[in-house]
Amino acid sequence: MKKWFVFSLVLLGLTALRPAPSGYQLGDTVLDFKLKNVDDKSVALADYNKSKGIILIFDCNTCPMSKAYNSRIIALHKKFASQGFQVMLINPNSAEVVEEESFDEMKQYAKSHKYDFPYLYDESQETVKKFMPTNTPHVFILKNTGSAFTVAYIGAIDDASNPSKVKQRFVEAAVGDLLAGKTIANPKTKAIGCSIKWKDS
Amino acid sequence: MSKYLFICLSLFYFTARGQESVKLPELQKLINDGSRVNVVNFWATWCGPCVKELPFFEKVNAQNKNVNVLLVSMDYDLDPNPDKVKKFIERKKLQSKVVILTEENPSSWIEKLDKNWSGALPATLVVNPTTKKRKLIEGELKEGDLEKIIESISQ
């Protein structure tokens, strides 16, 4: 009897300790997704199955942190696209919460910043929920294993939103490690950023 | 003598502005220590939802003497010059205590403020130093949310 009581307590404890539902973690396989790009064409992750991987960034039109990182995001694409890791952006925010996050505004934003990589719209936020980014910009580096994409890095672009203070370029270092066939030395980082604007919240 | 006067004047200046710079260990003490419940809000002048919810904290600061309200500016990462924060405090006539965290590399300290915090702003942390109960909320609060959290953490 006493044994059962202790057993139930342990079970209860385990349930309480289980983390809240969250998105993909390091090493997880990413399911294919298909979203509308700012050029009105659909883009699927599977379209990139010949690449070495993708620098997937949850980024938006309005967040001052996103604006601070804009030129650094474009520079990442310039540096790594030719080496097999191109940039792909998904806007995680709902235009129902912030009007300026609409698909039309995204088109204008991509045009004025001369994006030559996808900037994807997820009206239902279903794909965003699979990743559960917490802030913009939030980076997920996806590694192509040949048969699937897996999550190799989650976190910040670098260690300072003010470009003149940057000392560690986390994403550059992580992609560099992958290109060199090494394990990523620093696969999880955090940044101060804008919260995600979820529907019905 | 003039040096002494200068120190006094600068002390007065910072007190009058209601704002000071803090490093991580000091901030950790402000969050986790004391005899009253600490109501801590992480915000920045550039963060729209943060600015929108600041009046909730001002209201609690004015009306609930059983808690300490602390507004922690995260502006330093983007703009190391504190002028913007100072001007903001003046313009909004903020009465709550405001500190600016002046630490580099947020990735190295975000989890030291609360292990569950992603770094997204706004974020609110309510801590009862006596019972060690704490609650972290990420994202914008709605009217009345803060009072409910304070009540549950105060018990």
Sequential DSSP letters for A140-164 = EEEEE-SS-EEEEEEE-SSS-SSGG
- The reply to whether residue A194 touches residue B139, judged by beta carbons under 8 angstroms, is no
Compare all CA atoms of chain A with the CA of B141 and give the residue at the minimum distance.
A201
Per-residue pLDDT, A17: 43
Per-residue pLDDT, B14: 47
- The reply to whether residue A64 touches residue B49, judged by beta carbons under 8 angstroms, is no
**Taking chain A, what is the end-to-end CA distance rounded to the nearest angstrom?**
45
Mutate to test the interface with A, among B105, B113, B114, B137 (most CBs of A within 10 A): B105
Residue range A66-92, pLDDT digits in tens:
999 999 999 999 999 999 999 999 999
ipTM: 0.87
- Which residues of chain A are within 8 Å of residue B44 when distances are taken between CB atoms? 192
A185 burial (CB, 10 Å; 0-12 / 13-18 / 19+) is: exposed
CA separation (Å) from B2 to A3, B6, B15? 75, 6, 20
Gap between the Cα atoms of A191 and A161, Å rounded: 8
CB neighbours (10 Å) of residue B86? Answer: 17
Gap between the Cα atoms of B22 and B99, Å rounded: 6
- The reply to whether residue B119 touches residue A168, judged by beta carbons under 8 angstroms, is no
Residue range B115-152, pLDDT digits in tens:
999 999 999 999 999 999 999 999 999 999 999 999 99
Which residues, in sequence order, are CB contacts of B1 under 8 Å at separation 6+?
Answer: none
Q: Give the pairing of strands B37-43 and B67-73.
A: parallel
Q: Is B106 on the interface with A (CB under 8 A)?
A: yes
Cβ-Cβ contacts under 8 Å between A and B: the total is: 75
- The reply to whether residue B78 touches residue A161, judged by beta carbons under 8 angstroms, is yes
Percent of the residues in chain B that have a pLDDT greater than 90, as a whole number: 87
Closest CA to A142 of A88, A82, A194: A88
Q: Given a cut of 90, is residue A8 above it in pLDDT?
A: no
Compare all CA atoms of chain B with the CA of A186 and give the residue at the minimum distance.
B107
Mean pLDDT of B74-103: 97
Q: Given a cut of 50, is residue A10 above it in pLDDT?
A: no
Tell me what the pLDDT averaged over chain A comes to. 92
Which residues, in sequence order, are CB contacts of A60 under 8 Å at separation 6+?
Answer: A66, A91, A92, A93, A101, A136, A194
Gap between the Cα atoms of A199 and A152, Å rounded: 28
Sorting pLDDT into bands at 50, 70 and 90, what band is A22?
A: confident
- Which residues of chain A are within 8 Å of residue B139 when distances are taken between CB atoms? 195-196, 201
Percent of the residues in chain A that have a pLDDT greater than 90, as a whole number: 88
CATH number of A22-195: 3.40.30.10
**Residue pair B113/B125 in contact by the 8 Å Cβ criterion:** yes
**Residue pair A120/A88 in contact by the 8 Å Cβ criterion:** yes
Higher pLDDT, B16 or B119: B119
Query: Residue A11: left (phi > 0), alpha (psi -120 to 50), or beta?
Result: alpha
Separation in Å, CA of B68 to nearest CA in chain A: 24
Structural tokens at position A197: 């604007």
Q: Given a cut of 90, is residue A176 above it in pLDDT?
A: yes
- The reply to whether residue B120 touches residue A134, judged by beta carbons under 8 angstroms, is yes
- Which residues of chain B are within 8 Å of residue A160 when distances are taken between CB atoms? 77, 104-106
Separation in Å, CA of B9 to nearest CA in chain A: 31
A187 burial (CB, 10 Å; 0-12 / 13-18 / 19+) is: middle
Picking from B79, B104, B119, the nearest residue to A191 by CB comes out as B119
Gap between the Cα atoms of A144 and A47, Å rounded: 12
Sorting pLDDT into bands at 50, 70 and 90, what band is B5?
A: low
Q: Given a cut of 90, is residue A117 above it in pLDDT?
A: yes
SS3 B128: coil
Which residues, in sequence order, are CB contacts of A53 under 8 Å at separation 6+?
Answer: A84, A85, A141, A142, A143, A144, A149, A152, A175, A178
Q: Given a cut of 80, is residue A98 above it in pLDDT?
A: yes
- Which residues of chain A are within 8 Å of residue B111 when distances are taken between CB atoms? 190
Domain parsing of chain A, residue ranges: 22-195
Q: Give the pairing of strands B134-138 and B123-127.
A: antiparallel
Sorting pLDDT into bands at 50, 70 and 90, what band is B15?
A: very low
**Residue pair B98/B71 in contact by the 8 Å Cβ criterion:** yes
SS3 B41: strand
Picking from A190, A194, A196, the nearest residue to B106 by CB comes out as A190
Mean pLDDT of B19-45: 96
Picking from B49, B77, B138, the nearest residue to A192 by CB comes out as B77
Separation in Å, CA of A193 to nearest CA in chain B: 5
Picking from B49, B79, B111, the nearest residue to A162 by CB comes out as B79
- Which residues of chain A are within 8 Å of residue B78 when distances are taken between CB atoms? 64-65, 68, 161-162
Separation in Å, CA of A191 to nearest CA in chain B: 5
Strand order in the sheet with B67-73: B19-22, B97-101, B67-73, B37-43, B123-127, B134-138
Per-residue pLDDT, A99: 97
Mean pLDDT of B105-114: 98
The H-or-E segment that residue A194 falls in is strand A193-195
Per-residue pLDDT, A19: 42
Q: Which CATH superfamily is domain B18-154 in?
A: Glutaredoxin (3.40.30.10)
